[in-house]
Structure 1
Amino acid sequence: MSLTDTVTRTADTSFPLLPALAERWSPRAFDAEAVIDQDKLTAALEAARWSPSANNSQPWRFIVARRGSAAFDTIVANLMGFNQAWAGAAGALVVALAEVADAEGNERRWATYDVGQAVAHFSVQAHHDGLHTHQMGGFDAAGLRAAFDIDERFVPVSVTAVGMLGDAEALPEPLRERELAPRTRNALDEVLLVNA
């Protein structure tokens, strides 16, 4: 039985949202047998490419590693904590990097913000096309930097697991419990400091 058969994952929003936003969530249970659809992965990367950035600087770069590749195994080895327990089942892992300084060494102050937007566009397009994503901050940035010989101008910001939904029952506890728990968010009134 799949997770979607047992628990609704659509957000209980206070105002209607686009389905791709309301239905998007971050599973940990991925199908370790499913091969990621190349066109869908490319579409998600294209969505990231077309996201907005300060001065159109486009400070994002990505390391894309499909399950079964040495690059994938290297990324999994640099994940921390529980992330190593589940992320290896994803169809691909995507490291998002921010170019925090240009070629002349000038600081790109908004680079990490812009990379966040690019990854958000990636995740929404992926969900629209039937893929699932889970963004992670628990990884060894220095390990990734060394393994992939990343230029110092670039900073690893996140790792995103992407693939097809798997069976939550295959997850170890307490990950299974977290996977099946209802989705929650702070109330809209709590996140609006000023709404004049």
Structure 2
Amino acid sequence: MEKNNIIIKKETPTDYNIIPLLKERWSPRVFSDLPISEADLHTLFEAGRWAASSNNLQPWRIIWGVKGSKAYDRLLNCLDDFNQSWAKNAPVLLATMFKKTLPSGKENFHALHDLGLFMGNLTAQAQHMGIAVHHMAGINYKKAAEEFNIPDDFHVTTGVALGYYGGNPEVLPDDLKKMETQPERSRKPQEEFIFNGNFTDRAKI
């Protein structure tokens, strides 16, 4: 382990047994200094490539940059201030997007779902390789579209920070440091979003 890297283990109190790959995954805001090789990045993208998509249209598109490169700096500059404050710790940044229309020109209502499947595959592959993935809603999609000459038919959806688990939480502001070192993860109970029949009044809308 590198000198200033601290591996944080999170407790995941599942109600049913799930595979360790999913149970151990979480979204850190500090990362190991260990770089992610281009070959390993392409392994992650290959995992995403084989995700299911409606009519096999594969509407996802990804822009990536490794820390120290111009592409990385341009991606970082498209994140909101809050995310820039910690995402600068990540060895790799991505911007994700999807094609909004079908070949017919009609709206592709399933494209965002398909991008989610791509990122689900990528995230699972990353976890298998010891790489953490932190998805961010806080990206200025209009700024990113202009910065990277993205056609109007594509919508920039998320920023993503990638890096090996590790790093020192002391580099974070106090509020984020507390979140980073909190020992237990939490999720809504299934009863709030799973229904065997009608959508019920237990749903949190």
- Report SS of the residue matched to 2:86: helix
* Alignment partner, residue 50 of structure 1: 50
Cα displacement (A) at 1:170: 1.8
Number of residue pairs matched by the alignment: 193
Structure 1 partner of 2:14? 13
Distance across 1 between alignment mates of 2:87 and 2:185: 20
In the other structure, the counterpart of 1:153 is: 153
Structure 1 unaligned segments of length 5 or more: list them. none
Instruction: State the one-letter code of the partner of 2:100.
Output: V
The one-letter code matched in structure 1 to 2:194 is L
1:96 lines up with 2:96 in the alignment: yes
Seen in structure 2, the aligned counterparts of structure 1 residues 191 and 66 have a Cα distance that, compared at 3 Å, is: same
The corresponding residue for 1:168 is: 169
Which one-letter code corresponds to 2:19 in the other structure? L
Which residue of structure 2 aligns with residue 4 of structure 1?
7
Does residue 60 (structure 1) correspond to residue 60 (structure 2)? The answer is yes
1:22 maps to which residue?
Answer: 23
Shift of 1:164: 1.6
Q: Name the aligned partner's letter for residue 188 of structure 1.
A: Q
Q: Deviations 1:1-55 (Å, cap 9, x if unpaired)? A: 75535xx324221111111111111001123x32113332211111111011111
Cα deviation, residue 104, structure 1? 4.9
* TM-score normalised by L of structure 1: 0.91
Q: Which runs of 5+ in 2 are unaligned?
A: 199-205
User: What's the % identity of the aligned pairs?
Assistant: 32
Query: What letter corresponds to residue 155 of structure 2 in structure 1?
Result: V
- Give the match's secondary structure for 1:132: strand
Q: CA deviation at 1:101?
A: 1.2
Instruction: Write the letter of the residue equivalent to 1:156.
Output: V
- My pick for the range that moved more, 169-178 or 101-110, is 101-110
**1:188 matched residue in structure 2:** 190
Distance in 2 (alpha carbons) for counterparts of 1:9 and 1:69:
32
SS of 1:89 mapped into structure 2: coil
User: Could you tell me whether the CA contact under 8 Å between 1:10 and 1:24 is conserved in 2?
Assistant: no
1:27-46 → structure 2 map (5 Å cutoff):
27-31=28-32, 33-46=33-46
Secondary structure of the 1:9 match is: coil
Deviations 1:57-113 (A, max 9, x none): 100010011111111111111111321111111111111111111455221110011
Distance 1:118 1:146 in 2: 24
Say if 1:41 and 1:126, in contact at 8 Å, map to a contact too: no
Provide the C-alpha distance between the structure 1 equivalents of 2:43 and 2:197, rounded to a whole number of angstroms.
Answer: 36
Q: What displacement does 1:190 show?
A: 2.0
| Large movers: runs of 4+ above 4 Å | none
3-state secondary structure, aligned to 1:174? helix
